[in-house]
Structure 1
Amino acid sequence: MSSYQHDLAPTITSNTVYSIDAKEELLDECEEIWRQMEELSLLMVRVKALTAEYNQWQKRSPEIISTNPDVLVALGKEELQKVDHDLEMVLSTVQSKNKKLKEDMKREQQWLDEQQQLVDALDVTHEEMKNQVVQFSEKRTLQELKSKMLKIRAYKEELLSALGEFLEEHFPLPEEDESAKKKKKSPAEEPTVQLVTLHEILERLINKLMSTPHEPYLTISDSFWPPYVELLLRYGIALRHPEDPNRIRLEAYHQ
Structure 2
Amino acid sequence: MAGIKMQSYSTGDETAEEPPISETEESTASGAVDAREELLNECESIWSQMEECQSKITLKRAEPLTESDAEISLLMMRMKALTVEFSQWQIRSPELISTNPEVLLTLGKEELWKVKEDLEKVLLTAQLRNKKIKEDFHREEQWHDEQKKILNALKETEKKMEEDIESHCQRRAFHKLKDEFFKVKAYKEELLNALGAFLEEHFPLPDKDVTAKKKKIKNSEEPVTQLIALHEILENLINTLFTTPHEPYITVDDSLWPPYVELLLRCGVALRHPEDPNRIRLEAFHQ
Classify the TM-score, shorter chain: 0.3 to 0.5
The TM-score normalised by the length of structure 1 is: 0.43
Higher relative CO (CA 8 A, sep ≥ 6), structure 1 or 2?
1
- Structure number with higher helix proportion: 2
Q: Which has the larger radius of gyration?
A: 2
